[in-house]
Amino acid sequence: MLRAPARPIVATHWGTYRVKADEGAQAQLEGYELDEDPSPIASAMLEARTHASRIKQPMVREGFLEHGHHGGEILRGQQRFVPVSWHDAIRIVSGQLERVREEYGNESIYGGSYGWASAGRFHHAQSQIHRFLNVIGGYTASVQNYSYAAADVIVPHVIGSKAGLVSGHTSWRSIIESSELVVMFGGAPRKNAQVNSGGIGRHILRPSLMKAHDAGVEFVLVSPIRDDVAKEVDARWIAVRPNTDVALMLGIAHTLITESKHDVAFLERYCIGFEKFESYVMGKNDDLPKSARWASEITDISEETIRKLALEMARKRTMIMMSWSLQRADHGEQPYWMAITLAAMLGQIGLPGGGFGFGYGSVNGIGNEAYGFSWPSLPQGKNAVTQFIPVARVADMLLNPGAQYDYNGVSRTFPDIKCVYWAGGNPFHHHQDLNRLVRAWQKPEVIVVHESWWNACARHADIVLPVTTQLERNDIVCSGRDRFVTPSHRLHDPAGESKDDYEIFSLLARSMGVEFEFTEGRDEEDWLRHLYGIALSRVREAGLTLPDFDVFWQRGICELPEPPPQADLLAEFRNDPVGNVLRTPSGKIEIFSEKIDSFGYDDCPGHPAWLEPYEWLGASAVQDYPLHLISNQPATKLHSQYDLGTRSMASKIHGREPIRIHPDDAAARGILDGEVVRVFNARGALLAGVSVSCEVRRGVVQIATGAWYDPVEPGMPCSLDKHGNPNVLTRDKGTSRLAQGVSAHSCLVEIVRFTGHVPPITAFSAPQAES
């Protein structure tokens, strides 16, 4: 039995903490002493553990318990839940899995189960569920993510790898030493770099930005929101219209060409297809030069500002940073392709402090110099089913079984899903157009969810299995973006009857006759020792050391020494483009891609282009919905996790998620700071609390994601969301036929003062249950 030391450690997606328990006082989580900028998100973990909305027993929807999967007409999300014993719960779930497998085959089980779950190499819920579903014969999987799906597909077409997207970035060290100008599209907000999937030893964004500022690096922020970068770096703010960055970059490109400031030698030696792109920029085929004046109309940035910025970028050592948010928009592939193209025109790719890089402010650790170890995790086994979907097409799949769709050059068919099994994610947080999801969610015969709290995902399930939280189990936490290995100690016994995902899947596996295949005979401690052993051997291969497991477990955080300086992004290619060809068809940076062109997609042509999003401030829909909604990441929590904590609750206005609006837009609608408003479009409506602010540009409103979906009429598509979940407003459409990513940031709305009776929030109490 593993014992925690006197001062245990908890290691999470938002940082590493020591548990402080002064006599008599409530325990607290204190940031690790070497972390210069610890995140306060952890404070909610202790209070959430015992919150009223904690799920304490296995629960089954009343209609499902009575009628099984022929549950009648009643919509998911509307019915009472009935508690059952673990014995019955396991019997019901394994019985359903066996039935679905037999009647329809494993392909009809959707186990994509997207979500952040909790940090930890062993208890990671996605690894657990995928391992289990593989052991029982496989499942329909999902590929890509909600974070950067469009980038994930387009970037390899252009540079032959994902370098500069998730890893391999030019380091902060290089930026601090060599950049003169950093142009940040979407900024680098401190709120986002609080987290990193898989854990954090030290928060590096703020200290890195400050060092760069102190070293004289200048910052330009291109964003509809001014506080997308820390005030202290004195960034010049270019308050662009959302989703028009490609037009802005085209205006810059046009200026560079007309002023002969583009690096022709670089373009010839390292790139392919610039001529075609140049024809497009100069308007040779459509008589429409993409000039600074042209761009000015679209972006609402003056022609002079665009021209000046172009010349400054050519003159200085310039790093083009782009946040992941820009590609979560209609045609989200284009800003990424265009940013690489613009960096190529400047000719600084592969030079210290120059070129491009994505997501420096999206999660912690981007631009850190790291070893790049692939740390061990629970092996998932092999999936015998080859069917998959691009992850954000889940509602399309449930609503349209058998329908054809395009994806990255291939025509694919949606499977017919009968069972949805989710552990470690919240589709009623992350998915777009939730009213459509509510309809899609009625289609499967059975939905099983593992959750700790009665969030909307649990409420819309048939069978809810209560899981432990990270504070109730032991784990090992380490991330490839950092250089620490940390135990995360169990502080408490499981709340109520909750069990670890591992234990639940072990019981199901036993019931289905495949227990050993799932467990390999190991319990939690055996797995932790096993995984640590693999980590140890990988570290040793690199000539480094870690203590043995028992010392590690008691001592706590182990930091590996500073890694050697890392090469700048694409420096090897720059130094030797023949010896280090890129893994693109041409071996070069593809400004024009024959391959993408051959797909014949009108929504993703052969070179970067300005393609109007379906909703933006220049669309005809502004007549009805004149405000562009930005639904960005929340400062006070991780997605929907810990929305019930004091910190998140303190940020609410009349209990609703705050929506920020420019004073002129508020005045035009007679809306005052602190009032409750109804935010709506043709897809849905929500209530939010108004924060009038000059930090957002005119015509833009901003509401963070993460408020727990709280419909006035549960289970009914188009019910008013009382709480402020922006995904009742966003559109559920792929970025393009190429990547089929999320396009949440292309969304128009209107706002009015809410004059009705403000309904109470009910998302945080347990649903009506029979006990």
Q: Which is nearer to ligand MGD, 115 or 556 (CB)?
A: 115
Find the part of the chain contacting Mo ion (CB under 5 A) among 146-154, 287-295, 300-308, 544-552.
Answer: 146-154
Shortest spacing between CB 57 and ligand MGD, in angstroms = 15
Shortest spacing between CB 106 and ligand MGD, in angstroms = 21
The encoded tokens of residue 576 equal 């030797």
290 HSE (CA, 13 A, CB side) = 27
Q: Which is nearer to ligand MGD, 178 or 208 (CB)?
A: 208
Report whether 240 contacts 297 (CB < 8 A).
no
In DSSP terms, 356 is beta-bridged to: 320
Q: Which is nearer to Mo ion, 54 or 393 (CB)?
A: 393
CA neighbor of 358 nearest in space, from 638, 168, 580: 168
Q: Which is nearer to ligand MGD, 152 or 445 (CB)?
A: 152
The residues of the shown chain that bind ligand MGD, judged by CB under 6 A, are 114-118, 123, 125, 146-147, 185-187, 189, 191-192, 194-195, 222-225, 228, 240, 242-243, 245, 323-326, 328-329, 361-363, 423-426, 429-430, 450-453, 455, 467, 501, 630-635, 638-641, 705, 726-727, 730, 744-745
Report whether 172 contacts 193 (CB < 8 A).
no
Report whether 584 contacts 154 (CB < 8 A).
no
Considering the candidates 17, 32, 110, 114, report the single residue annotated as catalytic: 114
Query: Which partner, ligand MGD, Mo ion, none, binds residue 187 by CB below 5 to 8 Å per kind?
Result: ligand MGD
Q: DSSP secondary-structure letter at 39? A: -
Q: Which is nearer to Mo ion, 147 or 318 (CB)?
A: 147
Is 362 a binding residue for Mo ion by CB under 5 A? The answer is: no
Q: Which is nearer to ligand MGD, 635 or 686 (CB)?
A: 635
Q: Which is nearer to ligand MGD, 130 or 328 (CB)?
A: 328
Query: Which partner, Mo ion, ligand MGD, none, binds residue 504 by CB below 5 to 8 Å per kind?
Result: none
Q: Which is nearer to Mo ion, 118 or 147 (CB)?
A: 147
Query: Which partner, Mo ion, ligand MGD, none, binds residue 195 by CB below 5 to 8 Å per kind?
Result: ligand MGD
Read off the amino acid at residue 708: W
Shortest spacing between CB 702 and ligand MGD, in angstroms = 7
- DSSP, residue by residue, 260-315: T-S-HHHHHHHEE-HHHHHHHHHTTTTS----HHHHHHHH---HHHHHHHHHHHHH
Query: Which partner, Mo ion, ligand MGD, none, binds residue 237 by CB below 5 to 8 Å per kind?
Result: none
- Which residues between 683 and 702 bind Mo ion (CB under 5 A)? none
Query: Which partner, ligand MGD, Mo ion, none, binds residue 115 by CB below 5 to 8 Å per kind?
Result: ligand MGD
Is 147 a binding residue for Mo ion by CB under 5 A? The answer is: yes
Shortest spacing between CB 148 and Mo ion, in angstroms = 7
The encoded tokens of residue 421 equal 């099994």
Shortest spacing between CB 466 and ligand MGD, in angstroms = 9
Say how many C-beta atoms besides its own lie within 10 A of residue 373's C-beta: 18
Query: Which partner, ligand MGD, Mo ion, none, binds residue 730 by CB below 5 to 8 Å per kind?
Result: ligand MGD
- Give the residue carrying structure tokens 């709305």: 749
Shortest spacing between CB 135 and ligand MGD, in angstroms = 17
Q: How far apart are CA 47 and CA 32, in angstroms?
A: 20
- Give the residue carrying structure tokens 């929340």: 634
Q: How far apart are CA 628 and CA 748, in angstroms?
A: 5
Shortest spacing between CB 437 and ligand MGD, in angstroms = 12
Query: Which partner, Mo ion, ligand MGD, none, binds residue 186 by CB below 5 to 8 Å per kind?
Result: ligand MGD
CA neighbor of 744 nearest in space, from 610, 621, 628: 628
Q: Which is nearer to ligand MGD, 558 or 644 (CB)?
A: 644
CA neighbor of 640 nearest in space, from 415, 452, 492, 387: 452
Say how many C-beta atoms besides its own lie within 10 A of residue 288's C-beta: 13
Shortest spacing between CB 206 and Mo ion, in angstroms = 20
How distant is the alpha carbon of residue 578 from its chain centre?
Answer: 36
The phi, psi pair for 447, rounded to 5°, reads -130, 125
How distant is the alpha carbon of residue 626 from its chain centre?
Answer: 27
Q: Which is nearer to ligand MGD, 367 or 726 (CB)?
A: 726
Shortest spacing between CB 269 and ligand MGD, in angstroms = 30
Helices 501-511 and 125-135 cross at an angle (nearest 10°) of 10
Q: Which is nearer to Mo ion, 243 or 325 (CB)?
A: 325
Q: How far apart are CA 605 and CA 583, in angstroms?
A: 20
Q: Which is nearer to ligand MGD, 168 or 283 (CB)?
A: 168
List all residues 6 or more positions away from 57 whose beta carbon is below 8 Å from its beta carbon: 83, 84, 466, 496, 497
Shortest spacing between CB 328 and Mo ion, in angstroms = 9
Query: Which partner, ligand MGD, Mo ion, none, binds residue 450 by CB below 5 to 8 Å per kind?
Result: ligand MGD
In DSSP terms, 113 is beta-bridged to: none
Q: Which is nearer to ligand MGD, 187 or 658 (CB)?
A: 187
Shortest spacing between CB 449 and ligand MGD, in angstroms = 8
In DSSP terms, 685 is beta-bridged to: 680
Shortest spacing between CB 409 and Mo ion, in angstroms = 25
List all residues 6 or more positions away from 730 whose beta carbon is below 8 Å from its beta carbon: 432, 433, 629, 631, 683, 743, 744, 747
In DSSP terms, 451 is beta-bridged to: 466
Shortest spacing between CB 478 and ligand MGD, in angstroms = 17
Query: Which partner, ligand MGD, Mo ion, none, binds residue 501 by CB below 5 to 8 Å per kind?
Result: ligand MGD
The encoded tokens of residue 611 equal 């393609």
Query: Which partner, Mo ion, ligand MGD, none, binds residue 144 by CB below 5 to 8 Å per kind?
Result: none
Q: How far apart are CA 650 and CA 54, in angstroms?
A: 20
Q: How far apart are CA 498 and CA 500, in angstroms?
A: 7
CB environment 573-609: b (16+ within 10 A), e (fewer): bbeebeeeebebebbbbbbbbeebeebebeebbbbbb
Considering the candidates 116, 454, 642, 708, report the single residue annotated as catalytic: 116
Q: Is 114 a catalytic residue?
A: yes
Q: How far apart are CA 509 and CA 506, in angstroms?
A: 5
CA neighbor of 256 nearest in space, from 294, 282, 288: 282
Report whether 222 contacts 209 (CB < 8 A).
no
- Torsion, Cα of 759, 761, 762, 764 (10° steps): 180
Report how many residues bind Mo ion under the rule CB under 5 A: 1
Find the part of the chain contacting Mo ion (CB under 5 A) among 122-130, 141-149, 367-375, 595-603.
Answer: 141-149
Q: How far apart are CA 184 and CA 358, in angstroms?
A: 10
Report whether 366 contacts 169 (CB < 8 A).
yes
Find the part of the chain contacting Mo ion (CB under 5 A) among 144-152, 247-255, 391-399, 614-622.
Answer: 144-152
Q: Which residues are catalytic?
A: 114, 116
Contacts with Mo ion, residue ranges (CB under 5 A): 147
